[in-house]
Structure 1
Amino acid sequence: MFPSAMGMWGRRGRGAGGPEQLRARRREQEAALRKARRQQQLVSKRLLREDSLVNGDGQAGEEIAAEPLSDQELLQLLRDVQRGTDERKKLLSRLRQGLQHKETQQKFVRLEGSMRVLTGLFTSSLADVRMEAARCLHELSHSNDPAVAEACLPATSYLLTYLSGHSVEFTELCVYTLGNLAVESETVRKQLLPQGIIPALASCLQSPHVAVLEGLGYLLSQLLQATEAPAKIIPLVLDSALPLHMLRLVSSNLELGMGVAVEFAWCLHYVVCSHVNNGLLISQGIVSTLVLLLLDLASAVVEGATEGLELLLCPVLRCLSNLLAEDEPESCKVQMQDERLLVAVFLFMQRFLQQHPFLVQECLWLLNNLTADEPIFCSALLTLDLLPALLQLLPCSGTVTLLALTVLCNVAEKGPAYCRQLHQKAVLPSLLSTLALSDAQVVGQSLELLHLLFLHLPEAAADFLSQAGLQALAQHRDNPPLQERVRALEERYLQPAAATPVSPIGASAAALPS
């Protein structure tokens, strides 16, 4: 759940509690936010079946799988394929079709010597036989039965060897087969590490072939999502040349295609989320690389080229958000102090609100981390006149509304000058609307924003009363999660004496810092 911000109600004045307590409270909130928005891991399997088939005219075709093979048919196929006849490729093709069925896969791996035969054919000197055997292995790798994946263990060293050389189609097939096997079995991953999969990947990422690079990104992303990745895999990745390759491929201006950039952006996201050594990634330029990429993507949005951009934006925004959520994000914020970044984030929210609302949440999460305890970004948000666009998100309800309110609280925390700007931009009418919602978390964050406004700008309390604010609060007086905060607002700020404007605090406040 998102935090209700109850901890903020004990503050007395701008500096109450001291900067350390403010930072500690912010870290607690960020931890709760991260828990609430944690993405289900994108572990998946991919099947190249259609891509590997052609019709007689040489065009891509779709194959209708044969019926499952019986025990006797499997035995006969294995006998025939070992005889070395000219029919090997045809026999392997028949086997591959049968292996599209779960029951045939399980029968096959239980047959004594079956994997030894298939592995032998996979290492054949005949290219067409080797390719068909690779397709059979690929079908097996797509099984969701760990026993089937582990039966493929004898082939992993050859799959790694074949990552370099041979045809693009064959290499791509080997890459995705390894990725599928790595998803299913920790036993397979344990074997791949000492066999040298990390240096093999680092070497192969210099391939000029887009299809191979995209497959390598898929394989690496599956490894990085493994349960044991933070302890056993990511340290090896960080000690290799892989991070620099990932940054290069993500920032290739999409010359290699969207697929490559998307795969490696997710790889970077998984490494960042592991918190193994984000300082290394920062020193290698991950922040500036991703910020420049976002600016390029914003230019693409302006030009109307938005197809598929959401697939790349999601991991890039998450990477930056999670880097800022570190205990010491100062170095990240220094590298992000570019007003164009804020403009880009708002552009993404405006463009994708209707089609891909999940991206608006990602943008707001980044905006929250940028503005937390950081006057520079709060000032830029106001001086660039981005506040109206933020207020327009409040009626969206749910997580979007909650995050937008959190960003507004970040701004209001900075003191009287900021609160005066919020007040002048008609934040109170927007808050009266959110107070009418039934979502207790949204209402709670609205109450927190009111508290900050009234604390730093007493005349805002008088305006709130004149706009029927007490009636808006009244509906929450008997709501257990909210009643204490409603009572605190009424008693502290909305009594007749307290709500009477005194000397205008904002009149002598310093101008917003540039």
Structure 2
Amino acid sequence: MWSRRAGRRGPCGPEELRGQRREREAALRKARRQQQLVSKRLLREDGPAEAGAAPLENQEMQQLLRTAQRGAGEKEKEAALGSLRRGLQHPQAQRMFIRSEGSVRALIGLLTSSRAALQLEAARCLHELSHADDRAVAEACLPSTSYLLTYLSGHSADFIELCLYTLGNLAVESEAVRKQLLPQGVISAMAACIQSPHPAVLEALGYALSQLLQAEEAADEIIPRVLASPLLQPMLRLLRPTPERGAGVAVEFAWCLHYIVCSQVDNPLLISQGALSTLAELLLGLAGAVSEAADTGLELLACPVLRSLGNLLAEESALAAPGWEQLRDERILVAVFVLVKAFLRCQSGLVPECLWLLNNLTADDPALCTALLTLDLIAPLLQLLPLSQVVSVLVLTVLCNVAEKGPLYCQRLWPGPTLPSLLATLALSDPEVVGQSLELLQLLFLHWPEAAQNFIQQSGLQALEQHEGHTELQDRVRVLKETALRGSQPPPASCDPTPPPPLPAL
């Protein structure tokens, strides 16, 4: 979900223009709300031949289970469980297995064996079942969750990693599983796991936690428990990639943070705990690391970082929070444009994410609007207009943020490619893009009448005429034409214009 600071414009003057923004952008937020990234992970080390084994018949699976329970030796038991695990890679076999009375119970009995090798093979069988597309398979594994949670406090990093991925797969599939995990203490168990020194365990923990945080009931039942647990500070710490951990851990916990922020359960708490500073540092680091020569995979981390930071900036408490001054640094703007340039090459879907952050950065901050102008970033911004409808609306919204700051900003905004770019958007048929262009022109004409004169000279009134019959736009077109005609009138002869003062300093 995307959040934005309250807008502040309406169709007649700056104050009234501020009134309608929120309503229009509410629709944009709704249209752009991202679907949650529900997925499952599978830890499988089999080679192609094993992974392609034929499905087992029910009798064969039962025989393998009996052998695993009562075989002549440990090797024979392990081999039987290994064969069963490979057979359970097939959906048909998974469904047969859970329908066979006592099968899951027998497997859980092997999971609790005193033999570590049998425990591991039984856990791998459960992991295969957890990856099933059939929700009934996940729910059949429900009795195993208490044991999987218990084993999270064990000493084998590989076993803990396997249990975490299995729990994550089960949790995302079934509300019944989640309802059982919570009273069993899954959040406390995860809070203990987050202290692990093993990167693979931490990455698996981030995955399992993100699966819980995506649940429909997360905002009411899960996220409050997470925020009240000792998970938050270590989670923010793990957002920073290190050579030892790599980027995988940071990616998983960045998505966790994104789901928490989107829930809006207690974003002021996240801000008070230093989330803004952490995300600002991450943004600068991403911009410094991004390469134009190859796809580095940084978009996996950039996407949740951009979304989380942009949405936290929509909170009123952000303006007085630790880390806000760091975000007012012009280096943040440069970092956003560096990422835009990199993503244009191979990840254009992330460009709107960058622009949404830029929108929230500039909404209430004259200093950052000044930086956009002094760093000559308006032209690169206008060059993005043809990319897509969403990008066009966001670019125009950022320009409105600048223009609403007053005459000095409009005067600096107007020269150069702004007029031809706006005339090009008026030639489009999309009502949202055209509407945002009308809003920007209204601000420019009100604050800087010379813009109205240039607009009329460049056949701007004729460009407006094609939208006079559009129900959504006709009133705004009429008001804009009136504003343009008033602004195009020459000033009284007695008027002695004085040079405008400089823009506010950063």
Q: State TM-score, norm by structure 1.
A: 0.91
List per-residue Cα deviations over 1:450-479 (Å, max 9, x = no partner): 111111111111111111212322222223
User: Once structures 1 and 2 are overlaid, which stretch shifts more, 315-324 or 139-148?
Assistant: 139-148
1:347 to 332, 338, 341: 338
Match in the other structure for 1:35: 30
Change (3 A) 1:145 1:467: same
Paired residues, number: 497
Alpha-carbon distance, 1:46 to partner = 1.0
Alpha-carbon distance, 1:29 to partner = 4.5
Within a 5 Å distance, the mapping from 1:450-461 to structure 2 comes to: 450-461=441-452
List per-residue Cα deviations over 1:88-118 (Å, max 9, x = no partner): 1111112112211222112211222111211
2:328 to 334, 337, 344: 337
Alpha-carbon distance, 1:144 to partner = 2.1
Within a 5 Å distance, the mapping from 1:248-259 to structure 2 comes to: 248-253=237-242, 255-259=244-248
Corresponding residue SS for 2:153: coil
Change (3 A) 1:166 1:411: same
Alpha-carbon distance, 1:509 to partner = 3.9
Within a 5 Å distance, the mapping from 1:33-432 to structure 2 comes to: 33-49=28-44, 52-53=45-46, 63-86=50-73, 87-253=76-242, 255-301=244-290, 307-331=296-320, 333-432=324-423
User: Once structures 1 and 2 are overlaid, which stretch shifts more, 241-250 or 62-71?
Assistant: 62-71
Alpha-carbon distance, 1:512 to partner = 1.3
Change (3 A) 1:449 1:104: same
2:430 to 414, 423, 439: 439
Contact 1:2–1:33 (Cα < 8 Å) also in 2: no
User: Once structures 1 and 2 are overlaid, which stretch shifts more, 485-494 or 393-402?
Assistant: 485-494
For 1:499 and 1:476, how far apart are their aligned partners in 2?
21
User: Once structures 1 and 2 are overlaid, which stretch shifts more, 405-414 or 252-261?
Assistant: 252-261
Match in the other structure for 1:58: none
Q: Structure 2: any 5+ residue segments left out of the alignment? A: none
User: Once structures 1 and 2 are overlaid, which stretch shifts more, 225-234 or 471-480?
Assistant: 471-480
Over the matched positions of the two proteins, sequence identity in percent amounts to 62
Corresponding residue SS for 2:50: coil
Change (3 A) 1:275 1:498: closer
For 2:29 and 2:320, how far apart are their aligned partners in 1?
20
Contact 2:356–2:394 (Cα < 8 Å) also in 1: yes
For 1:269 and 1:498, how far apart are their aligned partners in 2?
45
List per-residue Cα deviations over 1:392-415 (Å, max 9, x = no partner): 112223111110011001111111
User: Does 1:11 find its partner at 2:45?
Assistant: no
Alpha-carbon distance, 1:443 to partner = 1.3
Change (3 A) 1:34 1:62: farther
For 1:336 and 1:263, how far apart are their aligned partners in 2?
24
Contact 1:420–1:506 (Cα < 8 Å) also in 2: no
Q: Aligned partner of 2:426: which letter?
A: L
Alpha-carbon distance, 1:297 to partner = 1.4
Change (3 A) 1:285 1:303: farther
Q: State TM-score, norm by structure 2.
A: 0.92
Q: Aligned partner of 2:462: which letter?
A: Q
List per-residue Cα deviations over 1:292-314 (Å, max 9, x = no partner): 11111111137968601111111
Change (3 A) 1:335 1:378: same
Q: Aligned partner of 2:361: which letter?
A: L
Corresponding residue SS for 2:260: helix
Match in the other structure for 1:57: none
